[in-house]
Structure 1
Amino acid sequence: MTNHQILIGDSRKLMKRLPSSSVQLIITSPPYFDKKDYSHPDQIGLGQTYQDYLSELAKVWKESFRVLEAGCNLIIDVGEVRSRENQKFKIRMLPCHLIDSLEKIGFSFKGATIWFKKTKGKSPVWGSYPFPRTGVSRLETEWILRFLKPGDSKDIRREIKEHSRLSLKEWLVYFSPIWEISGVQQKEHPAMFPLEIPYRLIRMFSFKAVPELDFSGDTVLDPFLGSGTTTKAAILLDRNSIGIELNPEYLEVIKEKIGFSQKRLDKNINIKIWRE
């Protein structure tokens, strides 16, 4: 049986309730800076200065370091920040600023995968179009950053590892430096990412439950759950999960995505929903 918790509330507060070293993988995509409205007064990003935005995110990363088991990974999907300030176009390399922030907390940066979103819609035209010198490339990529919590993880027996084995074909695709994965339509939530991303990351960096070998499986945490994509991937891959979402309006979207009513009938899946 795998266990899944959906927590409705502020991850900056709710993560404090999680035991230290209790999760084996964290996958998330934090709120955009001053770009998307997630319809909640306590949201991170909208109406803040860039430094305040980084400071609020750091509260989540500090708790992530505490709850993550040593030798395990935190994966963050982010893009560069583009905005107009005082009538001037500005680009901030958020991935670089996050690397600096998380290394100060204690994480070790282990590299990045570039997600090429293969956007079908029209991207904004920045710069001096149609003339040279100050044109800017289309914003069609994001960075998937990997951070490791230093230390030794608990030993996993070889026979348990065999159940999470990756084929050579999967390994070569998953550990490629560039992922070409189409984005998804932003219907129920303003910033959804495709299922394939957490699906790959969970396969790459965690072990599945093997009840016959008395192994309950790794636990995956997403502190910015959004529409529930990370939880869905964890369910499909026989991992446990904890998802935290600030806005209660997205709860029905999450329940629909993970098939809450159907999963309740599955004896091998236990789903609990908590409100702050």
Structure 2
Amino acid sequence: MKKLYLHLGLPKTGSTALQEDVLPFVKGDFFYAGKSLEGKNCSDFLRILREFLDATEAEKCGLLKKISSSVARIPYSNIIVSDEMFVVDTDKSLWQKKIIRLSELKAILDIEKVIVFRREPVSAVYSLYVESYHLLSHRYNKCIDFALQANQALIYKYSYLDSLLTSAFGDRALCYLSYDNECSLIDELLKTGVLVDAAAIQDRKINTKKMIGRGYVSNRKTLKDSLFSIGLVGWVVKRVPRKYYRFIADLFSKIGVSNGVVVDRPTEEEVKIIQHFFSGSDKG
């Protein structure tokens, strides 16, 4: 049975840099089955795996067979796969359900490592709020509202996340790594036993957001943001067939409606409240 190294790309923990600049240069008897450096395309394995995560109970057995066939075509003993969508809520599945579904891969793969890069929670949740501001602000007026109320924000409640992962995969496979300005993604990844060709990797500037006053500027508002913030329109758009949905979503995300706005950082008092919430062990 082939071994799987599963990177759960928590939002705003360097996942894109890892997927585009590091993992494509993995060395040895390893196959990187994630986004490629050239064109940012998905491998066949990842494409089917994404469908498997959102599938109904009736659909999942057929997709598991497709994943098994895809695995058989990979001429390596070890597979590394990385994706943010493993732990991001969608209209079809909450991230908690996706973790349970991922654990079902044990039927066809030996899950050797479950890799999670963790970042200081307040910084992570604020960064995610800034990036998704136009999608979130109609429901969460401030970052603290998102941090305390959104299911997606619970991904940064690490004791809660750890309990879910331990239940799904067992603690033997879990590998927690650090993401901050002082840590190298390559050095951290080395702790999992994965080697990459460091000479082929180019440095990138991780944080490209512009800061004004006491906050960062969000991305521009797109037509996709506008439509999805309207409940009824979003409901209709999300239910078009997958092959058309992706095309429409990509098209709408390229059409700008307005410029970015400055999103204030949480105040000191709000930071304390968020930190206290994230330090708890249950869902809160």
Pairwise same-fold verdict (TM > 0.5): no
TM-score by length of 1: 0.31
Bigger share in helix:
2
Which one has more relative contact order, counting CA pairs under 8 Å at least 6 apart? Answer: 1
TM-score by length of 2: 0.31
Bigger share in strand:
1
